[in-house]
Structure 1
């Protein structure tokens, strides 16, 4: 019995309306000392307030489960994307109720604004929608849905608690994977910022023989099939398949820099997942290697259905390290693991030309056996700083230094191209688009 009373007491909250009513009663008692004609009015007013208070409590607690609510989310959250969250609330009271709904979102978001107010008629169901954008991978612990319920009397609120302590994992960005897949399959990549690539030459992998239609290349006419069928027949070819595409992700300290809440490592991870998805859609094999002062995870290139899920599971746990990457170990691993010529997309970052030159001998050795694409990042903060007009001498100094670093990044790309190494210098926000675009260009040019 004591436990039940305590439970009711814990979830009972007095409202501002009650305190205002009590303050009014106190004022009446004070005025009674000066105005005798008030008589018993203060006592009667106080009695009415307490009677309404008891009535309000009885109304709210008469129904053991007057409110039902639950949180609707996906089983996992997508890092760097807007994830929809929905709360459904049903009123099982026989009257309209005023609700204050507080959703306790994980502490990583540092949000205190998920506070909603609504009115629900008896038997109705209402939904609350909002979005959350995580910027770090890991486990996110949702707290309770706190619902404070009040009747039309409004002297007290009854609190309900739902869906306490629900943990959701945050995985590399997967929400837009279906969009990338659709765009790549339908050849409408320009709609997503990916430009069309003109095909050079003819793929050597035969696909089928079909009837000639206007626009087909007359050089592909199959004269033997034409003679047999009595109508023009042409050979069709498809892109080379079953090529290896490896994403190598640098986890060293150069990838800790944040942009718009996401670290460079998270941008690289999201782009690797998207590229792996598109590569398998194009019938290529996707693999993964992570690197810091030692070799992290090695996922051999495969095209099986579970490969993308395996890659995401591995990348879900990766974190940046504080030491420099071991390029010698990377070269040895590539030579021992990757036996055939492959496309290697190396996600890293260089903040100075000397840093690139230290790694250049190993990059040239890798490029000797594989098609190497080095992806590194523009510093968008420096770019915005250089575009702002200088207001004083200090501003001129900062702008000059920013332009110097921007120019040095371009020199790095030229240095890589001089040694026959492909490169992408990209803003972090456009990384995925630019990497997929380059992959499709290399496929169209039959370089892999």
Structure 2
């Protein structure tokens, strides 16, 4: 009995309407002291309010379970994307109710205003959807769902607690990967900024010898086969396949820099996932290497159907390290792991020309054996500072330093080009599009 009573008063909450009614009663009692003609009106008002409160309690507590609530969430969340979740409600009361819902979302979101209001008719079911955008990979713990029910009287609220604690993993942006995948399958990549690049010359991969049909290129006629068959025969070519594409991700402290809630490492991880998936759709082989002061993960290039899931699982666990990149170890790993000429996309960040010069000898060695594409980031905050008008001498000094660092980035591109090393200097938000564009360009020009 004591436990039941405790549950009763811990789940009972007074509303503003009740406090307004009590305040009105207090005012009537005060006025009755100065105006005797009010008589028993204050007492009648108070007892009427008391009866209404009792009636409201009876209405809300006449059934043990008047409402049902359940959280609808995906098996995993996609980092940096809008993930849709829902709260399913069922009203088991025989009358209309007003409902307020609190969903205890993970602390990582730093939101304390997840409060939903709705109304439900008897036996009505409803699904309330809302959006969460995580900015870090890892495990997110959801708590209980708190539902506050109020009748038409609106004097008290009854709270229902639905213990639905669950842990959801936030993976690299697989929603973005699927979007690009659908665009690639339907040949609509141009809608999201992917350029159409004209293929130069013939593909180098021979497919078959077939009968000549009007419209075939005369240069592809196979004269030996024509002599044997007595009919015109032509060589048929197809796009080159099974080329190796490796994404190499720098996990050192240079990639910890934040931008719009995400670190540069997370941007590189998301872009690597999309690029690997596009490469697999183009029937190339995708691989992955992560590196900091030591080698992290190594996924050999392959094009099996399970390859993208394997890469996704590896990327999910990667974290920023706080030491310098061991380029000598990276070079040795690439030489041991990658046995044929491949496209190596190196995601890193250089803030100064001296930072590049420390790594340049090893980049030149890698470029001797593979087509190396170095992807690094523009410092958008410095760019904003350099574009702002200076108000004083200190402002001129800060603007000059910002422009110096911005100019260093352009010098890095030129320095890499001197040694036939491809490069992309991009803002974080355009990283994925620019990387895919360059991959398709290199493939069309048969540089891999």
TM range (shorter): over 0.9
1:165-314 residue pairs with structure 2 within 5 A? Answer: 165-208=165-208, 216-221=216-221, 234-314=234-314
Secondary structure of 1:175's aligned partner = helix
* Aligned mates of 2:214, 2:397 — CA distance in 1: 62
Question: Is the 2:70–2:164 contact (alpha carbons within 8 Å) kept by the matching residues of 1?
Answer: no
- Asked whether the 8 Å contact 1:247–1:346 carries over to 2, the reply is yes
Measured against aligned partners, the alpha-carbon deviations of 1:266-289 in whole angstroms (never above 9, x if no partner) come to 000001111111111111111111
Q: After superposition, what is the alpha-carbon deviation per residue over 1:319-367, rounded to whole angstroms, capped at 9, x for unaligned?
A: 1111101111111111112222211111111111011001011111111
Q: Does 2:122 match 1:122?
A: yes
- Deviation, structure 1 residue 214: 7.2
TM-score by length of 2: 0.94
Please say which of residues 436-445 and 261-270 is displaced more in the overlay.
436-445
Q: How far apart are residue 209 of structure 1 and its match? A: 5.6
Shift of 1:69: 1.9
Cα drift, residue 115 of structure 1 = 1.6
Q: TM-score, normalised by structure 1?
A: 0.94
Distance 2:343 2:212 in 1: 35
Where structure 1 has 5 or more consecutive residues not aligned to the other structure, the ranges are none
Question: Could you report, residue by residue, the CA deviation over 1:399-441 in whole angstroms, capped at 9, with x for unpaired residues?
Answer: 2222211111010011011011111111111111111111111
Q: Following the alignment from structure 2 to structure 1, what is the Cα–Cα distance between the partners of residues 315 and 200?
A: 35
**Superposition deviation, residue 98 in structure 1:** 1.2
* Unpaired runs of at least 5, structure 2: none
| RMSD between superposed Cα atoms in Å | 2.2
> Taking structure 1 as reference, are residues 149 and 363 closer, same or farther at Cα in structure 2, changes over 3 Å only?
same
Are residues 237 and 179 of structure 1, via their aligned partners in 2, closer, same or farther at CA, if it must alter by over 3 Å?
farther
Task: Give aligned pairs, total.
Answer: 448
Q: Which residue of 1 aligns with 2:397?
A: 397
CA distance in 2, matches of 1:65, 1:179: 42
Partner of 1:353: 353
**1:253–1:121 Cα change, 3 Å:** same
SS in 1 for 2:130: strand
Q: 2:101 matched to which residue of 1?
A: 101
Q: Does 391-400 or 253-262 show the bigger shift? A: 391-400
CA distance in 1, matches of 2:216, 2:380: 45
1:52 — aligned with what?
52
When structure 1 is superposed on structure 2, of 327-336 and 108-117 the one drifting more is 108-117
Greater shift in the superposed pair: 410-419 or 239-248: 239-248
User: How far apart, CA to CA, are the structure 2 residues paired with 1:229 and 1:54?
Assistant: 100
Aligned in 2, Cα 1:72/1:216: closer, same or farther, shift over 3 Å?
A: farther
2 CA distance for matches of 1:163 and 1:234?
A: 70
